[in-house]
Structure 1
Amino acid sequence: MTKLFIDAGHGGSDPGAVGNGLQEKNVTLAIALKLRDILNSDYEGHSVMLSRTTDQTLSLDQRTAMANSWGADYLVSVHINAGGGTGFESYTFNGNYEGKEETNRLRRLVHHAIVAETDFRDRGIKEANFHMLRESAMPAVLTENGFIDNTSDAAALKSDTFLTAIARGHAVGLANAFGLVESTNDNEKFVEVLVDSLWTYHTANWGDKAVVVNQGDVFTVIQDRFPVDGGYMYQIKSGLYITANPSYVRYYTR
């Protein structure tokens, strides 16, 4: 199973680039959440972890440490550009390292799919000494999805439909890069809580607790049972994660 780590750039006390009534941290989070949902609803053969699912402050070290400790196969760091340009560009690490050719091959597939889905002006494939690319233990790409200080790009970034197109471009690129197959299961999948109360989790991490759910609560499953540190989880439609232990939950389809 291919493990995909999706990083929504900036967050919390770090707004990122700001312009035309937008903050980068909010746009990147919207794209990352959409990307997760498209991957989990439309494709099989992978698992997804997000660096953040809320407006959360995380250091760059924390982000790459999460991806590295999870053993991700690929890292995508989602950003919005600024500085007076327009269009889309992507980056890989500019150093000399083992696997550089494969990293750039994967990046080309992701890059071209995003351009095709969005019709962004293609600013090209580039390299840079960015932390997210340099400190990741796996191949990584950083995407710059339009310019927040360009009125035309910003108008597009305010459109939920356009953000979905950006996310879909990322998903198609990842599917092409890693051979993910389109989902063939048309049955809806559900999980019901069997115990009085049960924690859910922001990410696929037993320590990242979110909210408590109660006996009888039913949730739609968007990612089937997958291993997490000695146990198993499901991902539910809200984007949260829940245990797959049959002593605590009942899984069913209809």
Structure 2
Amino acid sequence: MKKIFLDKGHGGTDPGAQGNGLVEKDINYLIGEHTKWYLNKYYSGFQLMESRPGNETVFLQERTDMANAWGADVFLSIHVNSGGGTGFESFIYNGTVTNEDIALQNIAHAEILSTMNNYGFIRDRGKKVANFHVLRESRMPAVLTENLFIDDVNDAAKLKDKDGFLQDVGHAHARALAQFLGLPDAKYDIVIGYFPGSQIDKSFDQAQAAFPNWSMSVKKR
């Protein structure tokens, strides 16, 4: 069972970057929620821990302490950039790293950038290294993503698309994690029962039309 530590950057009293009517902590949260949903929907064989389930204030040391104590297999930190640029970039630690760190960054960078480009050209700012706390102090492969610039008007327009762009970017983070960890696809059991004359809510329209007295539902294993 693989352990995923999902770090939604900032939160609580720490808003992160702000611009164009957006607050970074809120965007990080939404991307993280979409990441979590996609993992739970399409993959199995993992456990997930979050640095902040909601809008809690969680200090950097607390985030890495949680991941390290839990024995996470991967650490993913989600952020949005600022400072006058545009585009997407990813980071791993600028000190000693493993081949797994490099592989994680390569997979995440390619998957996320490819997904973003479905919404128009996104500048690839590159795969970078930095002395960020969450990368330095985590004792497992770790990557930090910077998902566009909150203070750029064009980037911000995409970041405001909660049900399109942010959802797909979150899903891309999930696919990257699944690929890196080799997670198996989720398996579902079809539960069928016979209830003569019943009026049970139908989940499978075509099957139910052919067999109106059968009740069918899906349960994840």
Q: 2:179 and 2:89 mapped to 1: Cα distance? A: 18
| Aligned residue runs from structure 1 range 156-167, under 5 A | 156-160=158-162, 161-167=164-170
Alpha-carbon deviations, 1:214-238, whole Å to 9, x = none? xxxxxxxxxxxxxxxxxxxxxxxxx
Alpha-carbon deviations, 1:16-58, whole Å to 9, x = none? 0000000000000111111111101111111111111111111
Q: 1:45 and 1:132 mapped to 2: Cα distance? A: 25
Q: Secondary structure at the match of 1:56?
A: coil
The alpha-carbon distance between structure 1 residues 47 and 187, as it changes in their structure 2 partners (threshold 3 A), is farther
Q: Secondary structure at the match of 1:182?
A: coil
- Choose between structure 1 and 2: higher helix proportion: 2
CA-based RMSD: 1.6
Gaps of 5+ in 2: 192-217
| Aligned residue runs from structure 1 range 104-253, under 5 A | 104-119=102-117, 120-160=122-162, 161-185=164-188, 187=190, 253=219
TM-score, reference length from structure 1: 0.71
Identity value in percent:
49
Larger radius of gyration: 2
The alpha-carbon distance between structure 1 residues 185 and 126, as it changes in their structure 2 partners (threshold 3 A), is same
Q: 1:105 and 1:187 mapped to 2: Cα distance? A: 37
**Which residue number corresponds to residue 42 of structure 2?**
42
Q: 1:93 and 1:16 mapped to 2: Cα distance? A: 20
Q: 1:111 and 1:127 mapped to 2: Cα distance? A: 13
Q: 1:62 and 1:137 mapped to 2: Cα distance? A: 14
Report the AA paired with residue 156 of structure 1: K
Question: How far 1:106 moved relative to its partner?
Answer: 1.6
Alpha-carbon deviations, 1:144-203, whole Å to 9, x = none? 000000011111001111101110111111111111122231659xxxxxxxxxxxxxxx
Q: Secondary structure at the match of 1:54?
A: coil
The alpha-carbon distance between structure 1 residues 186 and 117, as it changes in their structure 2 partners (threshold 3 A), is farther
Question: How far 1:77 moved relative to its partner?
Answer: 0.4
Alpha-carbon deviations, 1:81-116, whole Å to 9, x = none? 00111111000000025xx22211121011100011
Question: How far 1:117 moved relative to its partner?
Answer: 1.2
Gaps of 5+ in 1: 189-251
Q: 2:41 and 2:89 mapped to 1: Cα distance? A: 27
TM-score, reference length from structure 2: 0.82
Q: Secondary structure at the match of 1:95?
A: coil
Q: Secondary structure at the match of 2:188?
A: coil
**Which residue number corresponds to residue 214 of structure 2?**
none
Q: Which runs of 4+ in 1 moved over 3 A?
A: none
| Aligned residue runs from structure 1 range 92-107, under 5 A | 92-97=92-97, 100-107=98-105
Report the AA paired with residue 170 of structure 1: H
Report the AA paired with residue 85 of structure 1: G
How many residues are treated as equivalent by the alignment?
189
